[in-house]
C-alpha cells in the first residue's frame, strides 16, 4: 500500500495531512527517513512517527439505520452522505457494503474490510436482502406468483432469481431478493404493474436491523454478527 494511505489510516487523519507529515521528514523505516508519500510499503513494516510505532487499526464493521434523503456514498459534493452520520476516528477507512437508494431506508452495512464486503455483495453468494415494501395498489395473486418465479427486467440478460414474498397487507409485502441490480425492487414491482411508495431494508442474510437503533443511528457489529458472512 502507499505510504500516505498507511499513515492516514494508522493515525486517523486525512491523506493530505499524512502527505504533509511525510514531506516534513517525520516518518522513518529502519531509521531511514521516508519522504515520498507515494512510496509503497508493507502494512506491517515498522514505520515510526518520532519514535512512535504506527499500526493500522483493526477492520471496522458497522450497522446503520439509514434515513431517507441520504445517499449511500462516502463523499458527495452536493448531498449529505451516510458517512456524514458516522462519528468514528477511522470512519475515512469505511466503504458502503451494498448501497441503498437515496429514498430507501433501513439496514446498511459499512466496513473497511474489502474481502468481507465482497462476500456479502457478490451475486454468486446468493445472500438474501429482505425489504418491507409499501405499494401504490393492492398486489394480486398473479403478481405475487410472478415475483416468486422470477422476472425478466428490461435491459437485463437474465431473469431475476425467484424471490421470497410474504403478503403483509393488501398494499404491503415483505420481499427477499438475491441479487443487487440497479433499482431492482422498484423495477420488479413496476414490471408487475405496481409502484413502490416506500422501501425499507430489514435484513441481510441472517443479520437483521437492530430494533434499538433509531433512524440515523449506527453501531459496531458484534463478532457473532460479523461472522454471519
Show which residues are catalytic.
Answer: 101
Neighbours of 119 (CB within 10 A): 15
- Strands 61-66, 47-49: pairing kind: unpaired
Nearest to 200 by CA among 147, 151, 142, 135: 135
> For residue 121, what are the CA distances in angstroms to 12, 33, 90, 128, 229?
27, 41, 22, 10, 10
Measured CA angle at 90 (ends 86, 93), to 5 deg: 95
- Name the grid cell of 158: 437474465
- Distance, CA of 85 to CA of 80 (rounded, Å): 9
The per-residue DSSP string of 14-27 comes to -HHHHHHHHHTT-E
- Strands 47-49, 52-53: pairing kind: antiparallel
Amino acid at each position: 500500500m502507499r505510504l500516505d494511505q498507511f499513515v492516514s489510516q494508522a493515525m486517523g487523519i486525512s491523506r493530505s495531512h499524512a502527505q504533509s507529515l511525510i514531506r516534513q521528514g517525520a516518518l522513518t523505516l529502519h531509521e531511514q527517513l521516508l519522504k515520498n508519500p507515494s512510496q509503497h510499503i508493507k502494512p506491517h513494516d515498522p514505520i515510526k512517527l518520532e519514535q512512535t510505532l504506527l499500526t493500522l487499526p483493526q477492520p471496522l464493521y458497522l450497522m446503520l439505520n439509514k434515513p431517507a434523503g441520504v445517499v449511500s456514498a462516502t463523499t458527495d459534493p452536493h448531498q449529505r452522505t451516510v458517512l456524514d452520520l458516522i462519528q468514528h476516528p477511522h470512519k475515512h477507512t469505511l466503504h458502503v457494503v451494498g448501497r441503498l437508494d437515496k429514498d430507501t431506508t433501513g439496514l446498511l452495512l459499512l466496513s473497511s474490510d474489502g474481502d468481507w464486503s465482497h462476500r456479502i455483495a457478490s451475486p454468486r453468494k446468493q445472500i438474501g436482502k429482505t425489504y418491507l415494501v409499501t405499494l401504490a395498489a393492492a398486489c394480486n395473486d398473479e403478481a405475487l406468483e410472478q415475483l416468486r418465479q422470477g422476472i425478466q427486467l428490461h435491459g437485463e440478460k437474465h431473469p431475476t432469481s425467484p424471490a421470497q414474498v410474504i403478503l403483509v397487507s393488501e398494499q404491503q409485502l415483505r420481499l427477499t431478493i438475491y441479487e443487487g441490480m440497479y433499482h431492482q425492487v422498484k423495477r420488479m414491482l413496476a414490471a408487475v404493474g405496481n409502484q413502490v411508495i416506500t422501501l425499507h431494508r430489514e435484513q441481510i442474510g441472517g443479520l437483521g436491523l437492530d430494533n434499538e437503533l433509531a433512524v440515523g443511528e449506527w453501531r459496531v457489529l458484534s463478532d457473532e454478527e460479523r461472522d454471519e458472512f
